[in-house]
Amino acid sequence: MSWKDTYNTKLTTLSDVVKKIKSGDKIWAGGYLSVPVLALKELDKTALNLDNAELYAGLLTYPYEFLKPEYVGHLTYRSLFMGPLEKKAQNGGNAEIITYHLSNVKEVLDRIDFDVMIVETTPPDENGYMSMGACGGVGNRIVLDRNINTVIAIINENQPFVGNKENLLHIDDVHFIAEGHHPIAEAKPAAPSEVEIQIAKLILPMIKDGSTIQIGIGGLSNTIGLGLKNHKNLGIHTEMFTESMMELCKAGAVTGAAKNYQPHKIVTAFAAGSQELLDFMDHNDQIKIDNVGIVNNPNEIAKNDNLVSINTCIMIDLTGQVAAEGIGHKQISGTGGQVDFIRATRMSKGGLSIITLKSTYKGKDGIDSTIKFELPPGTPVTTLRNDVQIIVTEYGVADLRGLSTVQRAKALINIAHPDFRDELRNAAIAINLYK
């Protein structure tokens, strides 16, 4: 039987395929752009008929009905990474967050006895292989290797075909197929603010030709990307491939020639950006999507010399404790891979970790400092003070490596917004943290 015959034998409709999900099932639905949007919309219609089913995914891009509180106990949603929709639904809705370092994703998923896997893929190639698209590395391969009872592929012709073996799924390895074509959600970069432009200006001189870089998404990362266009032989090893990295590739700044680990390859687990980015990834042999547990393994990342990791945070205290995922008891995002890459830079020859933040934010009582005497009670510490290296605001650079706690406090106060420096200094003096 040819793969085309197999395809037609396994082909069913979206409404029929979600009927394979039963009460008590634990379902894996991928993350971000690999989440089967149309299939989950169909599941919305029947989810209240289920009892004690559990859905695991992350960073949803559509406001499904099952995020409402009445679905708790029918189809409980547990998210492996919090996006805006999960953030909204966690407070009185149907969303729970699992916090973990992305390097530990296998440990997390191995503790869950999945019954069903349902993810988006491309149409099959001439050999019957489907690509798991732009975000196939978020955990799909780990779940597939468990030989679970029901594997469902939702075909979307708009997914980019990224064809390394870790991101492929053969027609013989799925039990059911349905077609659900829809446009892929775009995450176009925001225009950088003046503050972000100033922060980028402070960071760019720290990045040398031949460095392997990891940067995030948003106005700041886009500004850094544009600023690195004249660099040479940059490499990319990053959990998330973004618009700014694509621009560097198109400018010829990225060759990967200086990488020690997987040279010439752009190693990533998932992507976020515009349609132009998805088109760039399609059948691009330079890009390798792998399981995020491998991509974010500090021991693997650190094989690259001159690794530069650039991340953002929400706030930091005067000893260097970094809060990047929540304030108080309010979860804002996931833990992600910040710590994975920071620890990798410690082991990389010539490695460097940079954490950025704007000096102020708008709180409920007006403008406040992001550099705090102490973090608000209940705030999760994402990066320990002993792991922190360089902190950058628009007011300067604080290199905390090798500093005493008193020296750290002084360095951080010096890059705080001027309106808050006296307040921070007086609080530090009161506990002998400033002399």
Between CA 76 and CA 87 the distance in angstroms is: 15
Both tokens of residue 425?
Answer: 């200094």
User: Among 428, 415, 332, 410, which residue's Cα sits nearest to residue 374?
Assistant: 428
Please, are residues 138 and 32 in contact by the beta-carbon 8 Å criterion? yes
Please, are residues 148 and 173 in contact by the beta-carbon 8 Å criterion? no
- Site of tokens 């972000």: 196
Between CA 131 and CA 116 the distance in angstroms is: 19
- Spatial neighbors of 346 by CB under 8 A, at least 6 apart, are 302, 353, 387
Which conformational region is residue 201 in: left (phi greater than 0), alpha (psi within -120 to 50 degrees), or beta? alpha
CB atoms within 10 A of CB 427: 17
Q: Would you call 374 a catalytic residue per the annotation?
A: no
Helix (H) or strand (E) holding 405: helix 405-414
Q: DSSP of 126-143, one letter per residue?
A: TTSEEE-GGGGGGTHHHH
Beta-ladder partners of 129: 170
Catalytic residue among 42, 120, 239, 243: 239
User: Among 270, 335, 341, 266, which residue's Cα sits nearest to residue 300?
Assistant: 341
CA atoms within 13 A on the CB side of 393: 21
Both tokens of residue 324?
Answer: 């990047």
Q: Which residues are catalytic?
A: 239
